[in-house]
A and B are shown apart, each in its own frame.
Chain A
Amino acid sequence: MSSIRPRSAAAYWLAVPAGLWMLAAVVLPTLLILWVSLWGGQSVSPDNPITFDNYARFLSNGSYRALMLDTLAQAAMIMGITGVLGYCIAYFLTVKVTSPAWRTALFLAFVIPFWTSTLIRAIAFVPFLGVNGLLNQALLAAGLIEQPIQAFLYSRLGVSMAQVSLYTLLASGPVVYMLNSIPPALREAAMTLKASPFTVFRRIILPLTLPGIVIGQVLVFLNVLADFITVTTVGGNKLAFLGNLILLFYEGSQIRATAVVSVLLMAVMLAGVAVALRIVDIRKVGG
């Protein structure tokens, strides 16, 4: 069997197809969006001068600034909830459930809903959260409420519930992986060194699963920022985040504004990933 050495001519040639694809599908479109966002002048034309006016105009608008902050606040909230919930689920599945059969069954029950597309899952929340929806009927049947709760659907509460449900797996999966990679003897060694279970968790388990937490948080962060489907279907027209704004400008043929918001959204996402990479070295995960 022959092997290809890194940095050899053959290695570079093998990287060409993937490189071309990335160039055509990612780099060029991104540069195009960046370019469009910098177009000046009155009419939409490639001959327009380059300017930062579009950004200045967008950022000077108070309601747009508020919407950006609101998007980040929503992401932060969903990250917090899915982070705690996802960690608890991961810890329960890998540490507390000792029977392999039960673990597999519970894990499948947790994962299988995520095999459907995001769009379908988002739409599925409408009959679940609606006035005559499953949740209201269940609460009515249980005698916990007397009137159906309107606020579940077409509200921020509904969107948040849907997003928590949609993205918990993303927060949980990397933690499951990291927990599984911790040898049980480490926990036991700490216990024989007089560490109580809480201390074992704080000093051994939590630091060793930190990369999983951070990766999960990055995934949730990126998905919440990019999510306009859930916001549209579950939030109705009452709610908008940056992703919806892009769609709104695009549908209104405001191509430069669309590009500006897209670039800002990308910048926020990249900043988030950069922060995460400062906390953990993702390349070391699994090593």
Chain B
Amino acid sequence: MAAPAALPQLDLELRDIRKRYGGFTAVDGVSLQVPKGQFVCLLGPSGCGKTTTLRCVAGLEEPDSGDILIGGREVTADPPWQRDIAMMFQDFALFPHMSVAKQVGFGLEMQKKPRAEITRRVAEVLGAFEIAHLADRRPSQLSGGQKQRVALARAMITEPRILLLDEPIGALDYSLRETVMLELKALQKRSGISFIWVTHDQNEAFSLGDQVVVMNHARIEQQGRPEEVLSRPRTAFVAGFIQGNNILRGQAQGARDGLLDIRTEDGSFAVPLNGRAVPAAGSPVSFSVRAERLQEAAADELPNRISLRCTLVEYFGAYRRHVLETRSGATIKWDQFGALPQSVFAGELVTFGWKAEDGVLHA
């Protein structure tokens, strides 16, 4: 057999998925590969197509074109009940007329498992999710956190290849979210099931995902490991969507030593090309610098310098955020980590700088 054995098996592959509703394009050429047992977060603002993409994977929507492969098998035209997936819905979608035990056993019942096995497995899973004491309750008698556990148990008991989660903790109290996130991450690692998690919350996406897929206007803007997306936003949209990026816009001037010279209303800056082709002189470009990368001290020795006026200082505990204004009126943020004494005050005029390699050129 000449089969390429080295090819890693994918739990999910999307090839150029497109979906339109009338004149509205919900998904516009989305391609994605999810290796076995990965935690993938689809991140984006509402209406960006992340939920429609998820529903296409579930089979609840049929894409107009493109292929969906689950575990290497083409399933694009298959209905949901023939796909090796389970799904957790935003408001949990528990069946109001079924007890917790009945509800959790539903998936096994659908698989025509023997009654004794269902009873045993339901007991196991209820125990594992610490909801055994709720077995006889109806959904209306459960708290938000309990509903979330029941919905998760109901989906996980079928041991699907992929678990699809549509804003799964969005309906929970804020105080519960972090605990639930940690539990879900641990559960995902333990089970080896791939999680596709849709969210508009970047904290969720970056702390949970092995891979983060940022979407906007029905397209994927960037996908990669959380560190990659955080440190090297590929587009101005990603840089703007992720907290803590300063975005500057200007015209390309010419490149030297792998650095692109960009002229803005607030001065000229050198930004690494990072292997990108040199943009035509005068063409509009944008780049970003993370708020914690700005340096106040020794600004004179840094290649990129900018004059700013501080308008606001906010203290967040872990860091202190300074809101500054350029001469042209653009807003720049500087985050100071560590419990340092305040050095820049509102109203002050300061010069900040950053190293050339801290600038990220956008596509």
Confirm or deny: A266 has a beta carbon within 8 angstroms of a beta carbon on chain B: no
The CA of A190 and the CA of B93, in the complex, are separated in Å by: 9
Chain B residues positioned under 8 Å from A204 (CB to CB):
95
Chain A, range 195-213, C-beta contacts under 8 Å to B = 195-196, 199, 203-204, 207-208
Q: Mark A184-199, 1 if CB is under 8 A from B, else 0.
A: 0110111111111001
Separation in Å of the A210 CB from the closest CB of chain B? 9
Given known pairs A191-B80, A193-B86, A193-B110, the reply for A185 and B91 (CB within 8 Å) is yes
Q: Mark B56-96, 1 if CB is under 8 A from A, else 0.
A: 00111000000000000000000111010111011101111
Confirm or deny: A183 has a beta carbon within 8 angstroms of a beta carbon on chain B: yes
Q: Are A208 and B81 closer than 8 Å at their CB atoms?
A: no
Considering only CB atoms, which chain A residue lies closest to B79 in the complex?
A: A191
Confirm or deny: B97 has a beta carbon within 8 angstroms of a beta carbon on chain A: yes
Give the most central of A192, A194, A196: most B CB within 10 Å: A192
Considering only CB atoms, which chain A residue lies closest to B58 in the complex?
A: A192
Q: Which of A183, A196, A208 is the one whose CB lies under 8 Å from B91?
A: A183
Chain A residues positioned under 8 Å from B164 (CB to CB):
192
The CA of A190 and the CA of B89, in the complex, are separated in Å by: 11
Confirm or deny: B52 has a beta carbon within 8 angstroms of a beta carbon on chain A: no
Residue count of chain B within 8 Å CB distance of chain A? 26
Confirm or deny: B154 has a beta carbon within 8 angstroms of a beta carbon on chain A: yes
Q: Are B95 and A199 closer than 8 Å at their CB atoms?
A: no
Chain A residues positioned under 8 Å from B89 (CB to CB):
185, 188-189
Considering only CB atoms, which chain B residue lies closest to A200 in the complex?
A: B81
Q: Are A194 and B87 closer than 8 Å at their CB atoms?
A: no
Separation in Å of the A241 CB from the closest CB of chain B? 37
Q: Are B158 and A188 closer than 8 Å at their CB atoms?
A: no
Chain A residues positioned under 8 Å from B96 (CB to CB):
186, 208
Confirm or deny: B106 has a beta carbon within 8 angstroms of a beta carbon on chain A: yes
Separation in Å of the A262 CB from the closest CB of chain B? 39
Chain A residues positioned under 8 Å from B154 (CB to CB):
193
Confirm or deny: B224 has a beta carbon within 8 angstroms of a beta carbon on chain A: no
Chain B residues positioned under 8 Å from A195 (CB to CB):
81, 106, 110
Q: Are B110 and A192 closer than 8 Å at their CB atoms?
A: no
The CA of A157 and the CA of B217, in the complex, are separated in Å by: 61
Separation in Å of the B69 CB from the closest CB of chain A? 18
Chain A residues positioned under 8 Å from B35 (CB to CB):
none
Q: Which of A192, A196, A203, A207 is the one whose CB lies under 8 Å from B86?
A: A192
Chain A residues positioned under 8 Å from B45 (CB to CB):
none
Given known pairs A189-B87, A189-B89, the reply for A194 and B95 (CB within 8 Å) is no
Q: Are A186 and B107 closer than 8 Å at their CB atoms?
A: no
Q: Which of A185, A186, A192 is the one whose CB lies under 8 Å from B85?
A: A192
Q: Which of B91, B94, B97, B110 is the one whose CB lies under 8 Å from A194?
A: B110
Q: Are A192 and B95 closer than 8 Å at their CB atoms?
A: no
Considering only CB atoms, which chain B residue lies closest to A196 in the complex?
A: B81
The CA of A189 and the CA of B87, in the complex, are separated in Å by: 7
Residues of B within 8 A of A (CB): 58-60, 79-81, 83, 85-87, 89-91, 93-97, 106-107, 110-111, 154-155, 158, 164
A-B pairs with beta carbons under 8 Å apart, 10 shown: A188-B58, A188-B89, A190-B95, A192-B59, A192-B80, A192-B85, A193-B81, A193-B154, A194-B158, A208-B97
